[in-house]
Amino acid sequence: MDERKTILSGIQPSGDLTLGSYMGAMKNWVELCNDYNCFYCIVDMHAITVRQNPAELRKRTLAQLAQYIASGLDPEKNTIFIQSHVSAHAELNWVLACYTMFGELSRMTQFKDKSAKNADNINAGLFTYPALMAADILLYQADLVPVGIDQKQHVELTRDIANRFNGVYGDVFTVPEPFIPKVGAKIMSLTTPENKMSKSDKDPGGCIYLMQKPEEIMRSFKRAVTDSETCVKYDPDNKKGISNLMTIYSLAAGKTYEEIENEFVGKGYGDFKVAVGEAVVEMLRPIREEAERLLKDKAYLEKVYRDGAARASYVANKTLRKVYKKVGFVQK
Ligand code: ATP
Ligand code: LTN
């Protein structure tokens, strides 16, 4: 029996992966992937809560798979799969939706934000999205869910749903904990540092994408919004732009905030921005190059997602069968 704890996390293929997705989530996935039993999925079913172009969604899903592997997730050691390939997600979603309250869903910040951004398409899927996310997590009996801070509320709702269900039927689900990085839990946009860097952002200048070319990355950092002072100092309340760049630099170059402050005493923001850009370019270079290579090997990617779906389905169906029995469905 596998004694290791279980991890599950996912990212929507709703846009190209950003430095935010990497620093808030994927970097932790890579650090955890050798010590835990890990499931990492590409949550394409979540992505259609916002209108998507089908051809692009398909392409981005495969590109995201290549970037997962290129970032260091070994498909031999981790189960990497596409959500829509494991039908248990849609099935458990329905059951859990019947154990999730209207009031709870109405309080979700992501629902409020996304309905404001997509006022012409406030669909039921966007509203019930957290029940599907709870299904993603609970099917695998995950102990930990590594995510950025914006997802904490959804993981907490997952815990409430699991506890509610367990309260009625006994210990069916493991109650998961969010696993949020101490540094990098919320990377901000480079152009509007009061907003989260988000892959569906309409302003591409605010985002750094994992697959971006070095010159484009440097250009975005050189244009990053700072402030009217000249000192590189970590003060997220008053110096949002600079503090965000310091967080990025700290993670990309492995330096503490204090080391960074000392490094730039007496130097201007121009030098600082170039240093941050260069550190990010070097951090992303091997990921981009490996992802480009993998993307040419369609047969390999296909094998990875097929094997992943088979392994994931085995685990997920076990939980689903138990749930169906508990709620009183007649066995097939
Ligand atoms: P979308 O714009 O489609 O909502 P997103 O860019 O906000 O997407 P998600 O797919 O929702 O990203 O998030 C993937 C994972 O990365 C989640 O765990 C999320 O918490 C984390 N994440 C996303 N953006 C950031 C960010 N700017 N800083 C830190 N973590 C982030
Ligand atoms: N809701 C998340 C994506 C997501 C997820 C999950 C994250 C869907 N299912 C399961 C962790 C575990 C988001 O919007 N970033």
In this predicted model, what pLDDT tens digit does every residue of 101-113 receive, in sequence order? 999 999 999 999 9
The whole-number average pLDDT for the span 253-261 is 97
Alpha helices in 120-256 (DSSP H): 124-138, 152-169, 214-222, 240-253
Task: Scan for tokens 């590409």, then name that residue.
Answer: 42
Residue-wise pLDDT for 58-104, tens only, equals 999 999 999 999 999 999 999 999 999 999 999 999 999 999 999 99
Q: What does the block give as tokens for 117?
A: 């951004």
Identify the weakest region by mean pLDDT among 114-118, 144-148, 186-190, 298-302: 114-118
120 CA from centroid of ligand 1 (Å): 23
CA dist 93 and 250 (Å) reads 39
- Report pLDDT digits (tens) over 171-190: 999 999 999 999 999 999 99
Q: What is the mean pLDDT of residues 147-162?
A: 97
Q: Judge residue 76's burial from the number of C-beta atoms within 10 Å of its C-beta, 0-12 exposed, 13-18 middle, 19 or more buried.
A: exposed
**Strand order from edge to edge, sheet including 177-179:** 79-82, 37-42, 6-11, 144-146, 177-179
**Confidence (pLDDT) at 34:** 84
Nearest atom, ligand 2, residue 43 CA: 8
Mean pLDDT of 291-319: 98
Q: Residue 227 forms beta bridges with which residues?
A: none
Task: Report residue 1's pLDDT band, with 50, 70 and 90 as the boundaries.
Answer: low
274 C-alpha vs ligand 2 centroid, how far in Å?
33
**C-alpha pair distances (Å), 280 with each of 20, 95, 203, 251, 313:** 12, 43, 20, 9, 37
273 included as an active-site residue: no
Q: Give the whole-angstrom CA distance, residue 43 versus residue 40.
A: 9
Give yes or no for residue 46 CB within 6 A of ligand 2. yes
Show the ligand 1 pocket: residues with CB < 6 angstroms.
11-12, 14-15, 18, 20-21, 23-25, 147-148, 150-151, 185-187, 196-200
* Tokens encoding 161: 């749903």
pTM score of the predicted model: 0.96
Atom 7 in ligand 2: which residue has the minimum CA distance? 10
Taking each helix axis from N to C terminus, what angle separates 240-253 and 269-295, rounded to the nearest 10 degrees? 50
Identify the pLDDT of residue 202. Answer: 77
- Average pLDDT, whole number, for the chain? 96
pLDDT above 90: residue 129: yes
Using CA atoms, how far apart are residues 180 and 246, in angstroms rounded to an integer?
Answer: 19
Ligand 2 atom, smallest distance to 133 CA? 9
In the annotation, is 114 catalytic?
yes
Query: Quick check: 127 pLDDT over 70?
Result: yes
pLDDT above 90 (res 282):
yes
Beta-bridged to residue 10, according to DSSP, are 41
pLDDT band at 2 (very low <50, low <70, confident <90, very high): confident
Ligand 1 pocket test: which of 71, 114, 126, 198 has the largest number of ligand atoms within 8 Å of its C-beta? 198
Say if residue 331's pLDDT is above 80. Answer: yes
